Amino acid sequence: MQVLKKLRIVIRAAQRHSAWIEKQCGLSGAQLWMLQELHDFPGLRVGEIASKLAIHQTTASNLLDALVKNGYVQKTRDPQDQRVVKLMLAKKGSELLKKAPKPARGLLAEALGKLDHGGLSELDKGLQALLDVIEQGDDASGMQPLSFMLSQPGLD
């Protein structure tokens, strides 16, 4: 039961952080993370940003469309290859990122990044063992932003 309690604490902390981000800046946690990635790595393509967030490319594209529509991100064409669309943080996006709650990459991503390799490896093994006994596991949900997953019913 101690493990169950700890999982609930992790999930609730992620829920609170996600809600706080949306309240503070009006963006989902995944969108704020995208702004941070574009700040750190200007000129990313949609597939690259999807990879950095570990989400489907179509999900990334949908999230980015809203950021572009609201003036936080700009799309530009590569002069060498017009088929390639590069993403840049717009001035409005930079200003929002400066004021936004931290960590911009999200509570769990940031915490996982602080674990040493051994701890992360052990956590991965333990989570995989748990997933192996869950008969109704959905591998596709591993490619959805946490803010989307947390808004779904049935997390208890």
Domain boundaries of the chain, sorted by first residue: 2-134
d(CA 33, CA 107): 11
- Taking the CB of residue 138, how many other CB atoms lie within 10 A of it? 9
Specify the amino acid at residue 145: P
pLDDT for 6-31, tens place per residue? 989 998 888 888 888 899 899 999 99
Residue carrying structure tokens 């004021």: 99
The verdict on domain 2-134 having CATH code 1.10.10.10 is yes
pLDDT at 152 (0 to 100): 46
pLDDT, greater one: 72 or 110: 72
d(CA 94, CA 113): 23
The model carries a pTM of 0.77
Residue 155 pLDDT greater than 50, yes or no = no
Provide the angle, in degrees to the nearest 10, between the axes of the packed helices 2-25 and 107-114. 120
Average pLDDT over residues 57-85: 91
Please compute, for residue 109, the number of CA atoms within 13 A of its CA located in the half-sphere on the CB side.
20
d(CA 73, CA 38): 9
pLDDT, greater one: 115 or 145: 115
Query: Tokens in use for 89?
Result: 């943080």
